[in-house]
């Protein structure tokens, strides 16, 4: 089993996350405080402030071991990418199942462009605002 396959499966199932923290049996892995997980998410995503609903939603898809791996800086790259997709799209997207949306407008992809683009379905400004040069242009 490849490392990538293993870590993706860990994320999906929560199985044997002790593999991410060598030397610790699974039963001894405690969830890090949300603040530590949040710090990891901030560093990974490039955003200093993250909506709580986004953090909490992302955390629900991870078992304690995975969260500890993020807090400890040992999360492998593909697990990082999975968490990034969760934070940026607002959806849990398991490899083998249907995606599930837990937030919409709070997804970070919209925050990345918010000075020039509104979140689709929300009003963008006064009627005709789009004729003006965008802030980011």
Sites of contact with other proteins (CB under 8 A) = 43-47, 77, 80-81, 84-85, 88-89, 91, 98-101, 104-105, 108-110, 112-113, 116-118, 120-134, 136-137
Q: Is the dihedral of CA 78, 81, 87, 92 positive or negative?
A: negative
Give Cβ neighbours of residue 54 (< 8 Å, ≥ 6 apart). Answer: 87, 90, 103, 106, 107, 108
N- to C-terminal Cα separation, the chain: 47
Nearest-approach distance from CB 109 to other proteins, in angstroms:
4
Nearest-approach distance from CB 16 to other proteins, in angstroms:
25
Q: Closer to other proteins by CB, 36 or 114: give it.
A: 114
């Amino acid at each position: 089993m490849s490392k990538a396959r293993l870590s993706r499966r860990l994320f999906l199932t929560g199985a044997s996350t002790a593999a991410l923290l060598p030397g610790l049996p699974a039963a001894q892995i405690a969830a890090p405080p949300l603040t530590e997980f949040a710090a990891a998410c901030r560093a990974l995503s490039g955003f200093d402030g993250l909506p709580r609903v986004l953090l909490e939603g992302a955390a629900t898809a991870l078992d304690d071991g995975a969260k500890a791996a993020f807090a400890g800086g040992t999360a492998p790259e593909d697990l990082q990418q999975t968490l990034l997709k969760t934070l940026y799209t607002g959806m849990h997207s398991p490899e083998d199942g249907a995606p599930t949306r837990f937030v919409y407008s709070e997804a970070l992809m919209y925050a990345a462009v918010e000075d020039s683009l509104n979140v689709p379905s929300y009003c963008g400004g006064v009627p005709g605002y789009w004729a003006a040069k965008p802030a980011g242009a």
